Structure 1
Amino acid sequence: MTHQPRASGVTTTVRIHDVDAIRGLALLGIFVVNITFMASAYPGNLVDDPSFSNPVDDVARFVVAALFSMKFYLLFSFLFGYSFVLQIGAAQRAGVAFVPRMLRRILGLFALGAGHIVLLYSGDVLTTYAVACLVLLAIHRVSDRVALITAGAIYAFVSLSLVVSAMFLDRSDFMPSSSEALVAAEDQTQSMLGSFADIVGQHLDGLGLLVIQAVSLQGPTALAMFLLGMVAARRHLFSELGGKDELPRRVQWAGFPVGLGGGVLFAALGGDTNTLATLVSVVTAPFLAAAYVATLVRVLHSHRVTWVRGALEPIGRVALTNYLAQSLVGFVLFTGIGFGLAGQVSPPLLLLLALVAFAVQALASAFWLRRHRYGPAEYLLRCFTNWSRPGRVNVAVGRGGTE
């Protein structure tokens, strides 16, 4: 956010509305993927639920894999890096040291993530972001050139490790067979219908896999996107992009052919179950994520579809609250503490549920922001970050500031 003093002494805040809307889109994509893991233990065991094996179910899985999987967490990571630079500006305006303040924010984020894992959803990304942000904090003074080279090197290393795995490692040596995975998935899905202690126990049992995934894939790629987002924020990408159609068009022309082709190949090869497919997605998913952003930016600045901004911006402004709320929705719908629908909802219905729940979140976010400046989770994190309660803020409507 950009804070400008007024004669009354009240701080005025101008937001980059495009960033909020893009963050809202990222939340939608993340939820479409996460709800499949919340609904049963089969995706987490890298097998399909045999109860849903008709062509419509297969098409829904294919669509999610091709268009959503491994795309939107990259976009969310990019925006995290973008916001990191905005936090530097906020600390400077407040006249406080940035590093201690950011360390408190990282600790608060990790605490929220840890609680999220234990209580709601074991597929949390906040803890991974917190750890990766420590690395970003340590190197954040590097030049743009070094940041870009580092991001490229990280991606090259992850890609090379996947190539080596695909060529020289036999997954059967360290992964269960399909029949074993099906048995485990059925048992774990039944555990989701048990007591609260059963659910927490299952979440804790999944910590090992979460750590492996974070260290080997999600953490490094998130850090690379943090660095790209940091450079984009330094260059005021979204505060200067509005109305400039040439760059988004170029990104679309490059991003969609590569990204969609890679997404289709990823899905056709078996998605997460295949190391080669994962490699394809790691290489091509950033192109599709960038194309999505370019398309949304063009839509946001079109006078014909103004409702898109109104739908996405509020949910993006309270993104942390909505991210946690999505897990709460999954917890209530699928576990035995709530409606107990685990293992009973088909892939097409899960996709529909995600869209409906997201629409409700958008309406609720807009309603909340009419009366409150921050979402509940944002308020808590801000209090811990600043070590004080937020002061009175007037929100100026406009573009061109920072967030």
Structure 2
Amino acid sequence: MSSASSTLLPSASPAPSRIAEVDGLRGFALLGILVVNSAAFASPYFGSGLPDPAFSAPLDSAVRFLSTTLFESKFYLLFSFLFGYSFTLQLASARRAARPHHPAFLRRLTLLLALGIAHACLLYPGDILTIYALMGLLLIPLQRLSPRRCLLLAVLLITALSTAVAGLGVLDHWAGTPPTDAVETADAVANTLTHYREGLLSTIRFNVEEWSESVWLFLLLYQGPHALAMFLLGLAAGQKGLLESGTLPDRILWRAVITCGPVGLAGGLALALAGELTPGAGLGTIITGLTDLTAPSLTATYAAGLLLLLRRFPGGWLARGMAAAGRMALSNYLTQSAICSLVFTGYGLALSGSVSPLFTLLFAFAVYGGQLAVSRLWLRFYQQGPAECLLRAFTHWQAPRLPRVTRHAPGG
């Protein structure tokens, strides 16, 4: 689902003030988002509760199992955390410039909402930008909370939501709710593939219907509160400046990896097992609720592990590539959907339902590697990505202007 180091909003401060670790984390989150979204594009069975019967070989099951365990419901949480963290950077930037922050932030959210709606209708109904735009409004009244209260409220939100989902599963189990209907799911899959194979206009019509009739509401009610909880954790971390250089000691990061990793991995494994074994509707929902509770732990593990890696190899190609991709997060996010649409839908090859989970995973990594390289190349000439430029211009109510990198002659 970049601004002065913001998630999917452009920088409000000059490039030298950027925080490399924040950009690197955001660039890393793009990989997880792409892996999950590619799977959704590639298989109409994604999210149905049933594995794709066309790809039931042991290798297919193993790849799906790995992807679900390590990627699903983890990386939009990292993006959300960075969104909240970046909000504090935007506030600080506005204070330094002695300008009001909230009007600019509201304009930013307005254009983010418009981009999200266009993205959902034209490319990918599972868009997360609209959710960020709507839930981001709550950051304005919540900004006065202390870090301790932000942390407490975030924990309460995650716990309450997870308990509610698991509770619905218990009720379904007691009521004997039948498992996912394979015939009904197959009909829905056939309808999706028909729209994709009829071409561009049919694909757009399908996206509009999917998003407007059900997807946006599901994302708002389900992912929205989880995103808000991570906004709050990012807000607390930003108030403490935890991602400033040297603020967060390596021993704390190692402790996060060691303590959070097993908890988050256990939840991911449970979700993957449920996806392959297809338990009854009630049990599947209970597992989803428990996974929601543990997903932030695996997200924290990834973030801590990547920070340790970036600190170990600060000038390596991976660190530079991820930081460059993170500086262009919005442009890269939209580009990912455009590429997937060209490959899997009626925009181009319409390969949805025709490729294996392994092909899809390798495809995602190939696209991501290309984005790292292209982002580094682009930023050699320009200070921002094209989408970041547009969003920054609207935020500050200026004409769009893509600033070039200034190069000084030797001795000049």
Q: TM-score, normalised by structure 2?
A: 0.89
Moved more, 85-94 or 339-348: 85-94
Contact 2:241 2:247 (C-alpha < 8 Å) held by counterparts: no
Partner of 2:140: 137
Q: CA deviation at 1:92?
A: 2.0
Partner of 2:112: 109
Moved more, 225-234 or 37-46: 37-46
Q: CA deviation at 1:285?
A: 0.9
2:313 & 2:230 partners in 1: Cα distance? 31
2:315 & 2:60 partners in 1: Cα distance? 32
Contact 1:20 1:314 (C-alpha < 8 Å) held by counterparts: yes
Q: Which runs of 4+ in 1 moved over 4 A?
A: 170-176, 389-396
Which of 230, 239, 246 does residue 235 from structure 2 map onto? Answer: 230
Is it true that 1:221 corresponds to 2:221 in the alignment? no
Tell me the secondary structure at the aligned position of residue 237 of structure 1: coil
What residue identity is the alignment partner of 2:201?
A
Q: CA deviation at 1:377?
A: 0.7
Partner of 2:10: none
2:96 & 2:247 partners in 1: Cα distance? 25
How do 1:2-401 and structure 2 match up within 5 A?
A: 13-169=16-172, 177-207=181-211, 208-241=213-246, 244-270=249-275, 274-303=284-313, 306-389=316-399
Contact 2:242 2:248 (C-alpha < 8 Å) held by counterparts: no
Contact 2:51 2:275 (C-alpha < 8 Å) held by counterparts: no
1:327 & 1:164 partners in 2: Cα distance? 34
1:305 & 1:55 partners in 2: Cα distance? 40
What residue identity is the alignment partner of 2:58?
P
Per the alignment, do residues 342 and 269 of structure 1 end up closer, same or farther by CA in structure 2, a change over 3 Å counting?
Answer: closer
Contact 2:21 2:307 (C-alpha < 8 Å) held by counterparts: yes
Per the alignment, do residues 241 and 266 of structure 1 end up closer, same or farther by CA in structure 2, a change over 3 Å counting?
Answer: farther
1:42 & 1:97 partners in 2: Cα distance? 47
What residue identity is the alignment partner of 1:248?
L
Tell me the secondary structure at the aligned position of residue 336 of structure 1: coil
What residue identity is the alignment partner of 2:51?
D
Contact 1:107 1:130 (C-alpha < 8 Å) held by counterparts: yes
Per the alignment, do residues 304 and 376 of structure 1 end up closer, same or farther by CA in structure 2, a change over 3 Å counting?
Answer: closer
Q: For structure 1, which runs of at least 5 residues remain unmatched after alignment? A: 3-9, 397-403
Moved more, 267-276 or 66-75: 267-276
Moved more, 11-20 or 132-141: 11-20
1:117 & 1:46 partners in 2: Cα distance? 22
Moved more, 89-98 or 33-42: 89-98
1:86 & 1:105 partners in 2: Cα distance? 15
Q: For structure 2, which runs of at least 5 residues remain unmatched after alignment? A: 6-12, 408-412
Moved more, 312-321 or 240-249: 240-249
Q: CA deviation at 1:389?
A: 4.2
Q: Deviations over 1:160-190 (max 9, x none)?
A: 2112201113698698622211221122122
Moved more, 354-363 or 160-169: 160-169
Contact 1:189 1:343 (C-alpha < 8 Å) held by counterparts: yes
What residue identity is the alignment partner of 1:114?
I
Per the alignment, do residues 189 and 47 of structure 1 end up closer, same or farther by CA in structure 2, a change over 3 Å counting?
Answer: farther
1:12 & 1:200 partners in 2: Cα distance? 37
Tell me the secondary structure at the aligned position of residue 211 of structure 1: helix
CA RMSD, aligned part only? 2.4
1:187 & 1:172 partners in 2: Cα distance? 29
Q: CA deviation at 1:248?
A: 0.7
Q: CA deviation at 1:307?
A: 2.4
Q: CA deviation at 1:51?
A: 1.1
Q: CA deviation at 1:205?
A: 1.9
Q: CA deviation at 1:44?
A: 4.1
Partner of 2:9: none
Contact 1:196 1:337 (C-alpha < 8 Å) held by counterparts: yes
Contact 1:189 1:342 (C-alpha < 8 Å) held by counterparts: yes
Tell me the secondary structure at the aligned position of residue 16 of structure 2: strand
Per the alignment, do residues 45 and 185 of structure 1 end up closer, same or farther by CA in structure 2, a change over 3 Å counting?
Answer: farther
Per the alignment, do residues 42 and 144 of structure 1 end up closer, same or farther by CA in structure 2, a change over 3 Å counting?
Answer: same
2:271 & 2:15 partners in 1: Cα distance? 46
Q: Deviations over 1:114-156 (max 9, x none)?
A: 0101111111000011111011222222222221221122112
Q: For this pair of structures, how many residues does the alignment match?
A: 389
Q: TM-score, normalised by structure 1?
A: 0.90
Tell me the secondary structure at the aligned position of residue 259 of structure 2: helix
